[in-house]
Structure 1
Amino acid sequence: MAIANESHQEAKNMASHHGAGRYWAIWAVLLVLTVVTVLTGRMHLPNFGLLLAIVIATVKGTLVALYFMHLSEHQGANRIVFGVSILFVVLMLVIPMADLGTRFRGSNPPGSQYSDLQPPDIGTGSQRGRFGGGMKPPQTKDTPETPAPHH
């Protein structure tokens, strides 16, 4: 019995069993990519670390969808839906990254990796917080508070 959107040939292909070797190989590739993700995540790669992690995650997700979910054996609409999904994932990642990378320097928040402006020093001075003022700094035990003289 075939699912509604599959042809008879697809039903025959899905009925044939594949050996476990292919699944073990894909599993080994997924493990290697996981180790690469962990190792590169511990490195300081400011220029392309995020891009590398996203590419590895996309490859891993594609392998899972193609082989463990058997999308590689499907024809027609299933392949189109999968391809369009990958295209939209790529677009949703590339467009914001391109926006961040080409932004005017002054529009990036101070202290971010895309800005050379230093973040404001908050909490050390008479004006703290968003509207200035703020709480009085705590007294330490070494410098006791002297009472005001009585007149």
Structure 2
Amino acid sequence: MGIANESRQEEQNMREEHHGAGRYWLIWGLLLVLTVVTVVTGRIHIPTWGLVLALVIASTKGTLVLLYFMHLADHRGANRLVFAVSIIFVVLMLAIPLVDLGTRYRGATPPGSTYSDLQALDIGADAQEGRYGGGIRKEGKTGEESGATKQ
């Protein structure tokens, strides 16, 4: 019965409290500004904080939509608790892998990746020259044709 009473109470509170259209226009304007910021920062190369900035902007936009367009700001009790716990879990699910990646020792990141300062190995050219036991020979001749005699 507690849940049914809570929903009746929320319904009664929402009938008494009507928000004008100005609130929605303001939130819509904020969402448009954040979208423009996302596009502008996406075209700029920000090597260290680009991902964090994009995640903060996306999380802010999602929170605005949840709070105002889905009326979560008007609700009380369990709905807010579920929202807060889900935000905490999203932050943890993003932060833990990023911290792990940022604190790895040098040998754990493959050479040539964006997170490594080691040079990438270019074995394609070496393999074609025959240095690694295969590939294409430049002369196109076998050992016998190049002047070696059988005894």
TM-score range normalised by the length of the shorter chain: 0.7 to 0.9
Compared CA separation, residues 118 and 132, structure 1 to 2 (3 A): farther
Q: Please name the residue that 2:148 is paired with.
A: none
**Structure 1 residue 12 displacement after superposition:** 1.8
Tell me which amino acid in the other structure corresponds to 2:9.
Q
After superposition, the CA RMSD in angstroms is 2.7
Alignment of 1:53-92 (within 5 A): 53-92=54-93
Supply the distance in 2 between the matched residues of 1:35 and 1:133 (Cα, whole angstroms): 53
Q: How does 1:104-119 map to 2 (within 5 A)?
A: 104-119=105-120
Q: Which contiguous aligned blocks of 4+ residues in structure 1 show a shift greater than 4 angstroms?
A: none
Q: 1:19-58, aligned counterparts within 5 Å?
A: 19-58=20-59
Alpha-carbon displacement from aligned partner over 1:105-136 (angstroms, at most 9, x marks no partner)? 110121222210122214222259xx9735x4
How far did residue 23 of structure 1 move?
A: 0.6
Aligned equivalents of 2:113 and 2:83: distance in 1? 35
Larger radius of gyration: 2
Instruction: Show the counterpart of 1:13.
Output: 13
The percent of aligned pairs where both chains have the same amino acid is 68
After TM superposition, give the deviation of residue 29 of structure 1 in Å: 0.4
- Deviation of 1:50 after TM superposition, in Å, equals 0.2
TM (norm. structure 2) is 0.79
- Find the aligned partners of 1:17 and 1:122 in 2 and give their Cα distance: 68
Q: One-letter code of the match for 1:78?
A: N
Match of 1:142 in 2: none
Supply the AA of the counterpart residue of 1:50: L
2: CA distance, partners of 1:67 / 1:85: 17
Change over 3 Å in CA distance of 1:132–1:87 after alignment to 2: farther
Name the one with the larger helix percent: 2
* AA partner of residue 14 (structure 2): M
C-alpha displacement at 1:13, in angstroms? 2.4
Q: Name the CA distance, whole Å, in 1 between partners of 2:96 and 2:127.
A: 42
Q: How many equivalent residue pairs?
A: 137
Counterpart AA for 1:24: W
5+ long unaligned stretches in structure 2: 146-151
Deviations 1:75-116 (A, max 9, x none): 000000000000000000000000001000110121222210
Residue identity opposite 1:70 in structure 2? H
